[in-house]
Amino acid sequence: MKQNAFEGLRAEIESLSPVRQIGRIIGVEGSTLRIAGFGQAARMGDQVRLTRPDGSYLGGEVIRIDADVATILPDDATDGVSLGDRVTLMGRARIAPHDGWIGRVIDPYGQPLDGQPLNRGQEERALRNPPPPPAQRARLGQRLETGMAVFNTMLPIVDGQRIGLFAGSGVGKSSLLAHFASHMESDVVVIALIGERGRELRDFVSDVLGEEGMARAIVIAATSDRSPLVRRQCAWTAMSVAEHFRDRGQRVLFLADSVTRFAEAHREVAVAAGEPPALRGYPASTSHTIMQLCERAGPGLEGSGTITAIFSVLVAGSDMEEPIADILRGVLDGHVVLDRKIAERGRYPAIDVLRSVSRSLPHAATEAQNDTIGNARRMLGAYAQNEMMIRAGLYSKGSDPALDAAIAGWPDLDAFLSEKEGQSIENSFNRLTLILRRANSGSSRQTATGNRSAEPRQRNSPKPTKAALPSPMAQMDSLTSTANNISGSKS
Ligand X SMILES: Nc1ncnc2c1ncn2[C@@H]1O[C@H](COP(=O)(O)OP(=O)(O)O)[C@@H](O)[C@H]1O
Residue numbers at the binding site for Mg ion (CB under 5 A): 174
Number of residues in the chain: 491
Q: Which does 175 bind (CB under 5 to 8 A by kind): ligand X, Mg ion, none?
A: ligand X
Q: Which does 171 bind (CB under 5 to 8 A by kind): Mg ion, ligand X, none?
A: ligand X
Q: CB of residue 200 vs ligand X: minimum separation in angstroms?
A: 8
Q: Can you tell me the distance from the alpha carbon of 242 to that of 308, in angstroms, rounded to the nearest whole number?
A: 10
Q: Give the other-Cβ count within 10 Å of 227's Cβ.
A: 21
DSSP state, 258? -
Q: Can you tell me the distance from the alpha carbon of 34 to that of 27, in angstroms, rounded to the nearest whole number?
A: 5
Q: CB of residue 219 vs ligand X: minimum separation in angstroms?
A: 15
Q: Please identify, using beta-carbon distances, which residue of 154 and 361 lies nearer to ligand X.
A: 154
**Residue of closest CB approach to Mg ion:** 174
Q: Can you tell me the distance from the alpha carbon of 117 to that of 267, in angstroms, rounded to the nearest whole number?
A: 34
Q: CB of residue 172 vs Mg ion: minimum separation in angstroms?
A: 8
Q: CB of residue 349 vs ligand X: minimum separation in angstroms?
A: 6
* Cβ proximity of 137 and 298 under 8 Å: yes
Buried b (16+ CB within 10 A) or exposed e, 160-188: bbbbbbbbbeebbbbebbbbbbbbbbbbb
Q: Please identify, using beta-carbon distances, which residue of 171 and 188 lies nearer to ligand X.
A: 171
Q: Please identify, using beta-carbon distances, which residue of 70 and 220 lies nearer to ligand X.
A: 220
Q: Which does 336 bind (CB under 5 to 8 A by kind): ligand X, Mg ion, none?
A: none
Q: Please identify, using beta-carbon distances, which residue of 169 and 471 lies nearer to ligand X.
A: 169
* Cβ proximity of 428 and 401 under 8 Å: no
Q: Can you tell me the distance from the alpha carbon of 314 to that of 171, in angstroms, rounded to the nearest whole number?
A: 10
Q: Where are the beta strands (DSSP E) in 368-436?
A: none
Q: Which does 137 bind (CB under 5 to 8 A by kind): ligand X, Mg ion, none?
A: none
Binding site for ligand X (CB under 6 A): 167, 169-175, 348
Q: Please identify, using beta-carbon distances, which residue of 174 and 356 lies nearer to Mg ion.
A: 174
Q: Please identify, using beta-carbon distances, which residue of 75 and 196 lies nearer to Mg ion.
A: 196
Q: Which does 82 bind (CB under 5 to 8 A by kind): Mg ion, ligand X, none?
A: none
Q: Can you tell me the distance from the alpha carbon of 160 to that of 250, in angstroms, rounded to the nearest whole number?
A: 11
Q: Please identify, using beta-carbon distances, which residue of 121 and 195 lies nearer to Mg ion.
A: 195
Q: Which does 366 bind (CB under 5 to 8 A by kind): ligand X, Mg ion, none?
A: none
In the three-class reduction of DSSP (H, G, I as helix; E, B as strand; rest coil), residue 275 is classed as coil
Q: CB of residue 51 vs ligand X: minimum separation in angstroms?
A: 40
Q: Which does 172 bind (CB under 5 to 8 A by kind): Mg ion, ligand X, none?
A: ligand X
Indicate the Cα dihedral angle 113, 114, 120, 121, nearest 10°: -90
Q: CB of residue 169 vs ligand X: minimum separation in angstroms?
A: 5
